């Protein structure tokens, strides 16, 4: 009586698998292959010449590549950590407010609505050495007479990029951590107060452990789209001037599209993919660990 | 003595309260001012924007930048209306498809047990971790070969794939919140599995599905890295790509860019406000309860 | 007419077998309660009858028809869930009428059935509220109302009262009993609460680890438990058990030199040298002068009171005997001081002897 048929769950997830295979997996396999060839867009026949790990060796031996790699890791580390700390601070600030808290929370979501490209453009405008808000303000206040080259100077440009990146993403942390703050059961907090904990001790030993899963969710979500930074950088400086703000992603884009060296660009692309996946898995593991510590593992 | 102690604590509490307000004010200013600056400048003529020394009190606010934008005859003649239509078609279509696929997938993950479930789930999410530019290179080649480059369909497919993992994650979380015995009760009440889903589980999860949809819409609406490579002409360029049209080799039309930015931000603003509550609930729930 | 038969029904999850071929016959209009500790397979059994779990082996029939592969909607059953499973997006009225609407019944007919059910369960005042605006007891009644609207052949209850507080639970128990009298239908009811089982059931089925341990009327399982598990599971407080040995002259020897005669009923059923477990209920161990009628009084037993629990109508006494903790009952309570030594009599006619190895009754 019982017919052997395809299980329902498979039918349900099949479309998802198909579209992802078509748009992500197949192109990625193709790019994996092409990273072992000297493929140039302008010369299609180069696709069939196997050169082994030449592109990878070239990348590993390239100072430009390592500079971009180092800058990318630096940017991610600084930005993610600062965003987390500032987000935590912002969430704590807002959680203390009693009147008008809803309005503040809404304001806090403001930067989340800006697409990265808009963020990039907005800060390109604001940090513009000639007509930008920052320089105008500094000059009007009489703090300086010069036009500070925010986007040209090597260190200032990195600072500007990190600032823009943080502006756009700190509120993601703040919102999620705030949700965590509201979910904390009151009993342990009150018990800690009665047991004589100082506010700092209460925060350190009760609030923070409880918030950790929320912080890791935020980190995991953020690391899923770290490459958003590409849009910002591309607009603000496009890796320039003279590669002073070159990140892996802008380097890949330039090598692939401008120089048309697809094989080489794909090889570098793979390195950045591995890096992104590493970050994501890292934070998901942390999330699971923090969850099981609180007995919330599912 | 006791009075002193109480007094000290009162002063301390007062100082903390003042510091709190000041810090909060500064933080909120940093969050709000950049956006407001853009909005303000979209109403100012280029002369004012470029003025040296800077003009702080707005002298002349007008809609010229917006007229120029929609007239298509402004500086550089950026066909904003066409970009807007492209963005709308691509975002709406890809969102609807991603929702259908995501709902099926999310439901499967929330309700069925099967081997390798966690592995498949993580695999799906990892596709989101692939940086857009790294994906855009092979996609560019594949799409160029299949003739999908510079078409609506090509970009729609890409956005569906981009949104499906996250949609599945969110929707899985929302369906998990619905106790499975609701559907079982419906089945005992005479529903088929299909009816039980559409008459009971879907209406209950509706708000969550809607917010997943809005999230997908915003991702497509705002996406740049892939669109900038996969679209070439006015026929398929979206607004984020169109923003670059205001930049020429040496000059930038700041006023026009600000106006287009405002146009892009308005739908995002409205939609985000509509779903903020569900969105936060969905994100934290999906993550915490796993 | 709907009887329910389970014939050697097995449930496996992969390699793990959780229900081991159980047989059960439920007669038409009978009220059967499946009871057991959590994880005993009672809910799984009920869900297999409902069609919510596939069965891995055996046969289930409802009203003479084998229903092994029928989906729930084709079994003409209804079910009340532990968490009620009310549809949160529908009003009470819509919840009640949902099954009839799905079946494509006409609106007039739906209204009639819904009104009838709401009258039976006194739900008239809440008909246009959503489940979220109802109290636990009201939700419980809506869940039952939703079940009776369809006039099913079989009612299934899955721990329906476990989310209610003690007072409400007692009240709903009576309502369920009344409901059964009003609408004569076969009912299969799952619970872990032996009080519910005792008060509601025509027949109790006691399950453990996927096996049926015993089935019978409430008084049968209370008075003649087949093993120590049933003996301690049914009845409150649980039956006292003492490890002992049969010695010469039909005497039972326990730790600390305590002895008792073998109860008359078991003389001949046991032989000297046999290891046994003696079981007796607190009700049958009474302090001197409080003994009402003892059919077969034991010699006096002196025991110190460790703790006493006055319950108003009776007092529960925790005492020590033969190295074990024993509970006794004082049916005409008077104040007791902890540490006081009282003299007790045990009613040997109400005692049980179990084999120490198999834990089975020696009756």
**What CATH number is associated with residue C109?**
3.40.50.300
Task: List Cα–Cα distances, B282 to A61, B180, B242, C87, in angstroms.
Answer: 45, 18, 32, 21
Q: Which of residues 272-291 of A touch B (CB under 8 A)?
A: 272-273, 276-277, 279-281, 284, 287-288, 291
Rounded to a whole number, what is the distance in Å from the CA of C18 to chain A's nearest CA?
Answer: 22
The reported pLDDT for the residue numbered B141 is 83
Contact across the interface for B181 and C150, Cβ inside 8 Å: no
Domain end, chosen from C233, C263, C296, is at C233
Number of Cα atoms under 13 Å in the Cβ half of residue B110:
27
Same domain (yes/no): C157, C110: yes
Rounded to a whole number, what is the distance in Å from the CA of A183 to chain C's nearest CA?
Answer: 21
Contact across the interface for A93 and B142, Cβ inside 8 Å: no
**C52 to chain B: which residues are within 8 Å by CB?**
184, 187-188
Query: Which tens digits make up the pLDDT trace of B214-229?
Result: 888 888 888 888 888 8
**At B79, is the secondary structure helix, strand, or coil?**
coil
The reported pLDDT for the residue numbered C258 is 81
At residue B103 the predicted structure's pLDDT band, cuts being 50, 70 and 90, is: very high
Contact across the interface for B182 and C99, Cβ inside 8 Å: no
**Does B75 score more than 60 pLDDT?**
no
**A2 to chain C: which residues are within 8 Å by CB?**
69
Same domain (yes/no): B162, B217: yes
Contact across the interface for A217 and B283, Cβ inside 8 Å: yes
Same domain (yes/no): C219, C244: no
**B204 to chain C: which residues are within 8 Å by CB?**
87-89
Q: Give the one of A7, A126, A291 whose C-beta lies nearest to B290's C-beta.
A: A291
Q: Which of residues 97-126 of B touch A (CB under 8 A)?
A: 100-102, 104-105, 107-109, 112, 114, 120, 122, 124-126
Contact across the interface for C77 and B188, Cβ inside 8 Å: yes
- Looking at beta carbons, which pairs linking C46-51 to residues 24 or more positions away fall under 8 Å? C46/C156, C46/C158, C46/C188, C46/C190, C47/C158, C48/C9, C48/C11, C48/C19, C49/C4, C49/C6, C49/C77, C49/C154, C49/C156, C49/C188, C50/B184, C50/B188, C50/C75, C50/C77, C50/C79, C50/C156, C51/B187, C51/B188, C51/C75, C51/C77
Same domain (yes/no): B44, B152: no
> H-type helices in chain C, by residue range?
42-50, 92-102, 107-120, 136-148, 166-182, 194-200, 218-223, 228-233
Q: Which of residues 34-53 of C touch B (CB under 8 A)?
A: 50-52
Q: Give the one of B181, B191, B199 whose C-beta lies nearest to C85's C-beta.
A: B181
Rounded to a whole number, what is the distance in Å from the CA of C105 to chain B's nearest CA?
Answer: 12
Q: Which of residues 57-86 of C touch A (CB under 8 A)?
A: 68-69
| C238 DSSP 8-state letter | P
> H-type helices in chain A, by residue range?
8-20, 26-34, 54-60, 63-96, 101-108, 116-126, 133-140, 154-183, 186-194, 199-202, 208-224, 228-236, 248-253, 262-293
Q: Give partners of C (≥3 CB pairs < 8 A).
A: A, B
**At C302, is the secondary structure helix, strand, or coil?**
strand
Same domain (yes/no): C155, C291: no
Contact across the interface for B134 and A122, Cβ inside 8 Å: no
Same domain (yes/no): B127, B33: no
Rounded to a whole number, what is the distance in Å from the CA of C67 to chain A's nearest CA?
Answer: 12
**What CATH number is associated with residue B280?**
1.10.3720.10
Between CA A192 and CA C326 the distance in angstroms is 41
Contact across the interface for B31 and A224, Cβ inside 8 Å: no
| B159 DSSP 8-state letter | H
User: Mean pLDDT throughout C22-46?
Assistant: 89
- Domain A62-293: CATH architecture, name and number where available: Orthogonal Bundle (1.10)
Between B and C, how many CB-CB pairs are < 8 A?
Answer: 62
ipTM metric: 0.78
Number of Cα atoms under 13 Å in the Cβ half of residue B224:
27
The reported pLDDT for the residue numbered B287 is 45
**A253 to chain B: which residues are within 8 Å by CB?**
133, 136
Contact across the interface for B184 and C85, Cβ inside 8 Å: yes
The reported pLDDT for the residue numbered B290 is 36
CA A79, chain centre distance (Å): 8
> H-type helices in B112-151, by residue range?
117-129, 132-146
Between CA C252 and CA A108 the distance in angstroms is 79
Contact across the interface for C83 and B179, Cβ inside 8 Å: yes
Between CA C282 and CA B182 the distance in angstroms is 43
**Does C189 score more than 60 pLDDT?**
yes
Same domain (yes/no): B14, B103: no
Same domain (yes/no): C68, C129: yes
Q: For residue B121, which of B290, B8, B270 has the smallest C-alpha distance?
A: B290
Least confident of A85-94, A217-226, C9-18, C238-247: A217-226
Domain end, chosen from B24, B40, B66, is at B66
Best of B113, B185, B191, B201 to disrupt the C interface (most C CBs within 10 Å) is B185
**B186 to chain C: which residues are within 8 Å by CB?**
87, 98
Rounded to a whole number, what is the distance in Å from the CA of B113 to chain C's nearest CA?
Answer: 11
Q: What is the mean pLDDT of chain B?
A: 82
Same domain (yes/no): C324, C343: yes
The reported pLDDT for the residue numbered B249 is 59
Between CA B166 and CA B162 the distance in angstroms is 8
Query: Which tens digits make up the pLDDT trace of B130-189?
Result: 777 778 888 888 888 888 888 888 899 999 998 898 889 888 888 888 888 888 889 888
Residue C360 belongs to some domain of the structure: no
User: Mean pLDDT throughout A22-42?
Assistant: 84
**B100 to chain A: which residues are within 8 Å by CB?**
15
Q: What would you measure as the largest C-alpha separation in chain C, in angstroms? A: 78
Same domain (yes/no): B169, B88: yes
Supply φ then ψ for residue B287, to 5 degrees.
Answer: -85, -45
Between CA A126 and CA B57 the distance in angstroms is 17
Query: Which tens digits make up the pLDDT trace of A249-266?
Result: 888 888 887 888 888 888
Question: DSSP letters along C244-284, please?
Answer: EEEETTTEEE-GGG-EEEPPGGGBTTB-TT-EEEEEE-GGG
Between CA A11 and CA B123 the distance in angstroms is 18
Q: What is the mean pLDDT of chain C?
A: 86
Task: Report the run of H or E that residue B154 belongs to, with start and end.
Answer: helix B152-177
At residue B92 the predicted structure's pLDDT band, cuts being 50, 70 and 90, is: very high
Q: Give partners of B (≥3 CB pairs < 8 A).
A: A, C
The reported pLDDT for the residue numbered A297 is 40
Q: Give the one of C79, C86, C87 whose C-beta lies nearest to B188's C-beta.
A: C79
For residue A237, list its beta bridge partners.
none
Same domain (yes/no): B212, B195: yes
Number of Cα atoms under 13 Å in the Cβ half of residue B81:
10
**Does B112 score more than 70 pLDDT?**
yes
The reported pLDDT for the residue numbered A146 is 75
**A250 to chain B: which residues are within 8 Å by CB?**
133
| C300 DSSP 8-state letter | P
Contact across the interface for B185 and C85, Cβ inside 8 Å: yes
**B199 to chain C: which residues are within 8 Å by CB?**
98, 102
> Taking CA atoms, what residue in A is nearest to B30?
A167
The reported pLDDT for the residue numbered A295 is 55
Tokens of A214: 């929320």
Residue C157 belongs to some domain of the structure: yes
Rounded to a whole number, what is the distance in Å from the CA of C80 to chain B's nearest CA?
Answer: 8
Interstrand relation of C240-247 and C251-253 (parallel, antiparallel or unpaired): antiparallel
**At A284, is the secondary structure helix, strand, or coil?**
helix
User: Mean pLDDT throughout A67-91?
Assistant: 87
Same domain (yes/no): B119, B246: yes
At residue A1 the predicted structure's pLDDT band, cuts being 50, 70 and 90, is: very low
Rounded to a whole number, what is the distance in Å from the CA of C69 to chain A's nearest CA?
Answer: 7
> Taking CA atoms, what residue in C is nearest to A2?
C69
The reported pLDDT for the residue numbered A298 is 36
Residue ranges making up the domain that contains B43: 2-66
**A175 to chain B: which residues are within 8 Å by CB?**
280
Residue ranges making up the domain that contains C349: 240-355
Q: Give the one of C83, C89, C102 whose C-beta lies nearest to B189's C-beta.
A: C102
Q: How many domains does chain B have?
A: 2
Contact across the interface for A93 and B280, Cβ inside 8 Å: no
**Does C297 score more than 80 pLDDT?**
no
Contact across the interface for B280 and A110, Cβ inside 8 Å: no
**Does A217 score more than 70 pLDDT?**
yes
Same domain (yes/no): B58, B129: no
Q: How many domains does chain C have?
A: 2
CA C194, chain centre distance (Å): 3
Same domain (yes/no): C263, C201: no
C58 φψ region: left (φ > 0), alpha (ψ -120 to 50), beta (else): left
User: Mean pLDDT throughout B36-40?
Assistant: 85
Q: For residue C160, which of C179, C174, C173 has the smallest C-alpha distance?
A: C173
Between CA C67 and CA A37 the distance in angstroms is 63
Q: For residue A126, which of B268, B40, B43, B239 has the smallest C-alpha distance?
A: B40
Rounded to a whole number, what is the distance in Å from the CA of B98 to chain A's nearest CA?
Answer: 9
For residue C188, list its beta bridge partners.
C32, C156
Same domain (yes/no): C250, C170: no
């Amino acid at each position: 009586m019982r017919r052997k048929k395809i299980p329902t769950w498979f039918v349900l997830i099949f479309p998802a698998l198909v579209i992802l295979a078509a748009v992500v997996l197949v192109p990625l396999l193709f790019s994996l292959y092409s990273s072992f060839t000297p493929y140039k867009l302008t010369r299609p026949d180069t696709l069939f010449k196997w050169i082994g790990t030449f592109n990878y060796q070239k990348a590993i031996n390239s100072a430009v590549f390592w500079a971009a790699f180092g800058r990318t890791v630096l940017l991610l580390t600084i930005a993610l950590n600062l965003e987390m700390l500032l987000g935590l601070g912002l969430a704590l600030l807002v959680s203390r407010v009693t009147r008008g808290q809803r309005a503040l929370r809404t304001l806090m979501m403001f930067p989340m609505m800006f697409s990265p490209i808009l963020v990039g453009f907005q800060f390109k405008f604001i940090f513009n050495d000639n007509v930008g808000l920052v320089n105008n303000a500094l000059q009007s206040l009489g703090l300086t007479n010069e036009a500070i080259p925010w986007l040209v100077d090597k260190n200032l440009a990195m600072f500007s990029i990190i600032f823009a990146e943080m502006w756009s993403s700190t509120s993601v942390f703040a919102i999620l951590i705030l949700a965590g703050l509201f979910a904390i059961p009151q009993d342990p907090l009150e018990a800690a107060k009665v047991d004589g904990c100082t506010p700092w001790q209460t925060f350190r030993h009760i609030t923070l452990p409880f918030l950790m899963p929320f912080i890791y969710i935020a980190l995991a979500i953020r690391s899923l789209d770290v490459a958003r930074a590409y849009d910002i950088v591309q607009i603000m400086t496009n890796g320039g001037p003279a590669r002073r703000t070159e990140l892996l992603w802008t380097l890949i884009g330039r090598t692939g599209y401008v120089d048309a060296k697809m094989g080489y660009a794909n090889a570098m692309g793979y390195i950045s993919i591995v890096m992104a996946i590493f970050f994501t898995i890292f934070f998901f593991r942390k999330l699971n660990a923090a969850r099981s510590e609180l007995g919330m593992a599912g | 003595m006791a009075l002193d102690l109480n007094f000290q604590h009162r002063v301390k509490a007062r100082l903390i309260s003042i510091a709190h307000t000041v810090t909060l004010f500064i933080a909120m200013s940093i969050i709000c001012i950049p956006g407001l600056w853009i909005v303000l400048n979209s109403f100012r003529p280029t002369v004012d924007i470029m003025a040296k020394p800077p003009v702080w009190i707005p002298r002349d606010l007008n809609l010229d930048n917006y007229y120029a934008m929609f007239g298509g005859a402004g500086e550089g003649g950026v066909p904003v209306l066409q970009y807007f239509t492209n963005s709308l078609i691509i975002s709406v279509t890809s969102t609807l498809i991603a929702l259908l696929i995501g709902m099926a997938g999310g439901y499967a993950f929330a309700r069925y047990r099967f081997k390798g479930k966690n592995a498949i789930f993580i695999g799906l999410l990892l596709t989101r971790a692939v940086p857009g530019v790294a994906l855009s290179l092979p996609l560019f080649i594949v799409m160029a070969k299949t003739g999908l480059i510079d078409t609506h369909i090509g970009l729609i497919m890409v956005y569906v794939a981009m949104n499906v993992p996250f949609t599945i994650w969110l929707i899985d979380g929302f369906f998990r919140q619905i106790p499975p015995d609701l559907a079982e009760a419906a089945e005992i009440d005479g529903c088929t599995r299909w009816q039980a889903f559409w008459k009971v589980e879907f209406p209950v999860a509706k708000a969550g599905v809607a917010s997943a949809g809005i999230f997908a819409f915003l991702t497509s609406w705002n996406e740049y890295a892939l669109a900038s490579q996969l679209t070439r002409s006015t026929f398929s360029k979206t607004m984020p790509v169109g923003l670059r049209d205001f930049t020429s080799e040496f000059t930038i039309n700041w006023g026009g860019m600000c106006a287009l930015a405002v146009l892009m931000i308005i739908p995002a603003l409205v939609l985000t406000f509509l779903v903020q509550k569900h969105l936060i609930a969905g994100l934290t729930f999906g993550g915490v309860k796993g | 007419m709907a009887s329910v038969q389970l014939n050697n029904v097995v449930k496996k999850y992969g390699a793990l077998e959780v229900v081991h071929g159980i047989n059960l016959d439920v007669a038409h209009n009978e009220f059967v309660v499946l009871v057991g500790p959590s994880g005993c397979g009672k809910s799984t059994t009920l869900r297999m009858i409902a069609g919510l779990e596939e069965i891995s082996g055996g046969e289930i029939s409802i009203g003479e028809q084998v229903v092994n592969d029928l989906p729930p909607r084709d079994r003409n059953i209804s079910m009340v869930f532990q968490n009620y499973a009310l549809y949160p997006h529908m009003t009470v009225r819509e919840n009640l009428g949902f099954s009839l609407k799905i079946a494509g019944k006409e609106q007039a007919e739906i209204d009639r059935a819904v009104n009838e059910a709401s009258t039976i369960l006194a739900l008239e005042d809440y008909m246009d509220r959503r489940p979220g605006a109802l109290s636990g007891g009201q939700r419980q009644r809506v869940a039952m109302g939703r079940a009776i609207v369809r006039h099913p052949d079989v009612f299934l209850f899955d721990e329906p009262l476990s989310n209610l507080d003690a007072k409400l639970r007692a009240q709903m128990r009576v309502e369920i009993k009344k409901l059964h009298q009003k609408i004569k239908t076969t009912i299969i009811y799952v619970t872990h609460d032996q009080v519910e089982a005792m008060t509601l059931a025509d027949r109790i089925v006691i399950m453990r680890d996927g096996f049926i341990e015993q089935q019978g009327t409430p008084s049968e399982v209370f008075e003649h438990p087949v093993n120590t598990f049933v003996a301690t599971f049914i009845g409150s407080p649980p039956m006292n058990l003492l490890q002992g040995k049969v010695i010469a002259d039909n005497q039972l020897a326990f730790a600390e030199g305590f002895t008792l005669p073998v109860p008359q009923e078991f003389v001949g059923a046991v032989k000297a040298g046999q290891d046994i477990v003696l079981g007796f209920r607190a009700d049958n161990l009474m302090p001197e002068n409080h003994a009402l009628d003892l059919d077969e009084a034991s010699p006096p037993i002196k025991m110190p009171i460790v703790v006493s629990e006055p319950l108003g109508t009776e007092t529960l006494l925790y005492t020590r005997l033969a190295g074990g903790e024993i509970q006794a009952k004082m049916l005409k309570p008077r104040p007791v001081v902890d540490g006081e030594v009282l003299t007790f009599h045990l009613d040997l006619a109400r005692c049980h002897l179990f084999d120490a190895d198999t834990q089975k009754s020696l009756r």
